A and B are shown apart, each in its own frame.
Chain A
Amino acid sequence: DAGVTQSPTHLIKTRGQQVTLRCSPKSGHDTVSWYQQALGQGPQFIFQYYEEEERQRGNFPDRFSGHQFPNYSSELNVNALLLGDSALYLCASSLVGTGLGTEAFFGQGTRLTVV
């Protein structure tokens, strides 16, 4: 049973460019959340997708957008990249409707470096 898979594992982009990160959730999961982990910090919640809609969003600018596909996989897009966007981007999948305590399974992350 494959866990959460993310691609690519590493990425280098130039300021002002756009980037797309991809995530396939754990088999049977229908909810995908994205987190940004800056160096030396804990992950920060970006947004969550369920039924192809963004249903909750953290304190991130509109440059960060996403999408969820019918097969539950998801993309994170970042426009007009800034140096400060350099971070590890983590995808987590879970199963909606299981209430509090739902375990989120994390991928290995995509390390984005903006130069």
Chain B
Amino acid sequence: AQSVTQLDSHVSVSEGTPVLLRCNYSSSYSPSLFWYVQHPNKGLQLLLKYTSAATLVKGINGFEAEFKKSETSFHLTKPSAHMSDAAEYFCVVSDASEGYSTLTFGKGTMLLVSP
């Protein structure tokens, strides 16, 4: 079984300051991990994905995440927040244990960016 825990339901930052969104996962198999972003009234957009290659993954819009197996973590970071980053972020694990790939989502972290 696979699961994801997003440690913060809300994170507030000021524009231009660093962003850290925390995620811990549980998986019986070598997982793939993703971060998706959801802006209001819009669909989910993939930010980045980890698939057992480099442990530091770079995504779109300046986001990156580091896979740490020993800590079972996959935290999302960005050096400098922009107002347009305000949205809900989901950490996702995929465990194709039966050969099929389904996604298990965390409960989400709402990122608030103030001027």
**Using a CB–CB distance below 8 Å, which chain A residues touch chain B?**
4, 33, 35, 40-45, 48, 50, 55-56, 58, 90, 92, 94, 99-109
Tell me the total A-B contact number using a CB cutoff of 8 A. Answer: 68
B80 CB → nearest A CB, Å: 26
Query: Of B14-22, B44-52, B61-69, B71-79, which stretch is located at the interface?
Result: B44-52
Given A100-B32, A100-B52, A101-B94, CB of A48 within 8 Å of CB of B100: yes
- Docked-complex contact B105 and A42, CB < 8 angstroms: yes
**Using a CB–CB distance below 8 Å, which chain B residues touch chain A?**
4, 30-32, 36, 41-46, 49-52, 90, 94, 96, 98, 100-108
- Docked-complex contact B108 and A101, CB < 8 angstroms: no
- Docked-complex contact B43 and A90, CB < 8 angstroms: yes
- With beta carbons under 8 angstroms apart, the residue of A42, A101, A109 that contacts B107 is A42
B64 CB → nearest A CB, Å: 17
